[in-house]
Chain A
Amino acid sequence: GIQVEQSPPDLILQEGANSTLRCNFSDSVNNLQWFHQNPWGQLINLFYIPSGTKQNGRLSATTVATERYSLLYISSSQTTDSGVYFCAVGFTGANSKLTFGKGITLSVRP
């Protein structure tokens, strides 16, 4: 199956700092999504980004499909950004299902 590797596994930031989270995957996919799981367990979809670049407020993401990686950028981090960030990859259509990476645990200190 598809392998998904996320790095770094843990990240500690001071409030206001910027960060880059990386996701590498082993095979060509046409579906890639980033999620944030808050400390209460709720998973929020941040981006559907199989290729290209998207921005949403302080967050942006870039996927280079030909090189099999995606990056999530967090600027001016806030304590509410703390939690686990998951990258998930797979395919769309009838065989739609996602394989999740192990996640990156982010702690933003005030």
Chain B
Amino acid sequence: SAVISQKPSRDICQRGTSLTIQCQVDSQVTMMFWYRQQPGQSLTLIATANQGSEATYESGFVIDKFPISRPNLTFSTLTVSNMSPEDSSIYLCSVERLHDTIYFGEGSWLTVV
């Protein structure tokens, strides 16, 4: 398994501000993934973060809105920029471990007012 810690766990943010979410893993991993889960919806992949290279973004997500850092093999951040109420979601960090099994952090619940 994997121990994945996310901060903050919850936050209420003002429209137009930015928030950075941190993801810390208990051991080194090659790929880290950031997902968004809008209220009552399924999970949508935002981007894949590899250490030492630019993140790879999925269709509909851009770096200016969701900049990602991956400074080492155990840590990543996702910033949600210039937030609007439509960004209210759970943001989830995940990693791939042994035998391609995916594990998720506890999620960061963002409410934009």
Contact = CB atoms under 8 A, between A and B. Distances in A.
Interface stretch (B11-19, B20-28, B71-79, B104-112): B104-112
Which has the most chain B C-beta neighbours within 10 Å: A41, A88, A92, A99?
Answer: A41
Nearest to B56: A97
Contact of B100 (A35, A41, A48, A101): A48
Interface in A19-44: 31, 33, 35, 41-43
Contacts of A88: 43, 102
A45 B103 contact: yes
A79 B48 CA distance: 35
A69 interface: no
Given A88-B102, A97-B48, A41 B109 contact: yes
B101 interface: yes
A100 B42 contact: yes
Nearest to A94: B31
How big is chain A's contact interface, by range?
10 to 19
B65 to A, nearest CB: 19
B87 interface: no
Contacts of A100: 42-44
B43 A41 contact: no
B90 A41 contact: yes
B92 interface: yes
B101 A45 contact: yes
B33 interface: yes
Contact of A42 (B31, B100, B107): B107
Interface of A: 31, 33, 35, 41-43, 45, 48, 86, 88, 92, 96-103
Interface of B: 31, 33, 41-45, 48, 58, 90, 92, 96, 99-104, 106-107, 109
